[in-house]
Amino acid sequence: MIHVIIGTKAQLIKMAPVLAELERQGIPYNYISTGQHKGTMDDILVNFSLRRPDHSLYDGKDITSVVQMFFWMLRIVLSGRRRKQQIFRNDRNGIVLVHGDTFSTLLGAILGKLAGLKVGHVESGLRSFRLFHPFPEEITRLLTFRLSDYMFCPGQWAMDNLQRYSGTRVNTGYNTLVDALALALPAIREIDDVELPDGPFGIVTLHRFENIYNRKALERVISIVEHVGRSKMLLFILHKPTERKLREFGCFSRLEENPAIELRKRYDYFRFIKLILHADFVISDGGSNQEECHYLGKPILLLRRATERRDGVGRNCVISDYDMDAVDDFINHVERYSSEPLLPGTSPSSVIVEYCKPFAGQSQA
């Protein structure tokens, strides 16, 4: 059987086309949620017309800190070892699909191995080659590579990064996010409840551990946002962990009282993409946002030192390294980084599903 383990919103968005393709072809699958994120997950399921998880490993509050993640992960591994037959429906010949670089990725790979199943890693082979940038994602990827039997790589560069690992490499050509966008764009035309500013604006979305985990790191990125706000109107999209840290470190009121910065709660995926389409640029620390802007041709400034992705770098994407000169160059010449949308006709999700089909037909023990 095909088992799909998902824990975060970004993972669900990128795996939604895979689940949709399984359903389109009538291939049964077991959708397992780790419970790492729950807020707005239902909205994403509605966006892509998908069913709720068949099994949930955790039903508490969202996991938003590294300490919480450690104990959450330990608890699920111990519980999963006892309940592996229930979780994986007594399967002995199937494959467990995990995605990306989160703790849910590693957790799913560990559970798959404990159950004696094959592990398939979607979005495999991405590397920053800097162990602590991003942290802990780069470490999580390296550990997941070693646990993976099948590595679904979004391009030749990712394939080449996995030459020293023993798993079977499969080139999907592109990231599954391109399929998510292909599903989203037609539906976006029907959405008319997203309030857009009257004039030009940019979007800010920040959530990564290295940018919000302490006061110094958070104040650094907030200072950059405030600097950009002196010349540009900004919509600041609030992630829950980011909002909590903004309040904890006394930065929330600075943004709230800034007339050039409008704070907004998170949107579902389709509405967020509609905002991006109408924005002049995006400021983000997210890899998924980097990919979305690459495919949509939207200028993006990454508030990071390094990225594990090559999407758009040197074209529409600028890695800031927190350097104010780089920030100013991007903002003063943002039109230079606008490019034509890149939406290929090939479907990476279809490649993954075709490769996993034999596991759907294998008998259970």
Does the model's pTM come out above 0.85? yes
> C-alpha distances in angstroms, 304 versus 51, 143, 180, 333?
35, 22, 25, 20
**Lookup: tokens for 320:** 């800031």
Fold match, 2-185+346-361 / 195-266+279-337? yes
- What whole-number distance in Å separates Cα of residue 268 and Cα of residue 317? 24
Q: What is the pLDDT of residue 362?
A: 56
Q: In sequence order, what E strands does the chain have? A: 2-6, 29-33, 55-56, 95-99, 118-122, 150-153, 168-171, 202-205, 234-238, 261-265, 281-284, 300-302, 317-319
CATH, range 2-185+346-361: 3.40.50.2000
> Are the C-beta atoms of 152 and 347 separated by less than 8 Å?
no
Q: What is the pLDDT of residue 364?
A: 44
> Are the C-beta atoms of 59 and 36 separated by less than 8 Å?
no
* Residuewise pLDDT in 10s, the chain (365 residues): 999 999 999 999 999 999 999 999 999 999 999 987 766 788 999 999 999 999 988 877 766 666 777 787 888 888 777 888 889 999 999 999 999 999 899 999 999 999 999 999 999 999 999 998 888 899 999 999 999 999 999 999 999 999 999 999 999 999 999 999 999 999 998 999 999 999 999 999 999 999 998 999 999 999 999 999 999 999 999 998 899 999 999 999 999 999 999 999 999 999 999 999 999 999 999 999 999 999 999 999 999 999 999 999 999 999 999 999 999 999 999 999 999 998 888 899 999 999 999 999 754 44
> C-alpha distances in angstroms, 106 versus 76, 103, 115, 139?
12, 5, 14, 10
**Lookup: tokens for 69:** 């993640």
> Are the C-beta atoms of 161 and 127 separated by less than 8 Å?
yes
Q: What is the pLDDT of residue 319?
A: 97
- What whole-number distance in Å separates Cα of residue 330 and Cα of residue 281? 10
On whether the 195-266+279-337 domain is CATH 3.30.420.10, my answer is: no
Question: What are the residue boundaries of the structural domains of the chain, listed by start?
Answer: 2-185+346-361, 195-266+279-337
CA-nearest of 97, 153, 94 to 120 is 97
Give the N- to C-terminal CA distance of the chain in Å, as an integer: 11
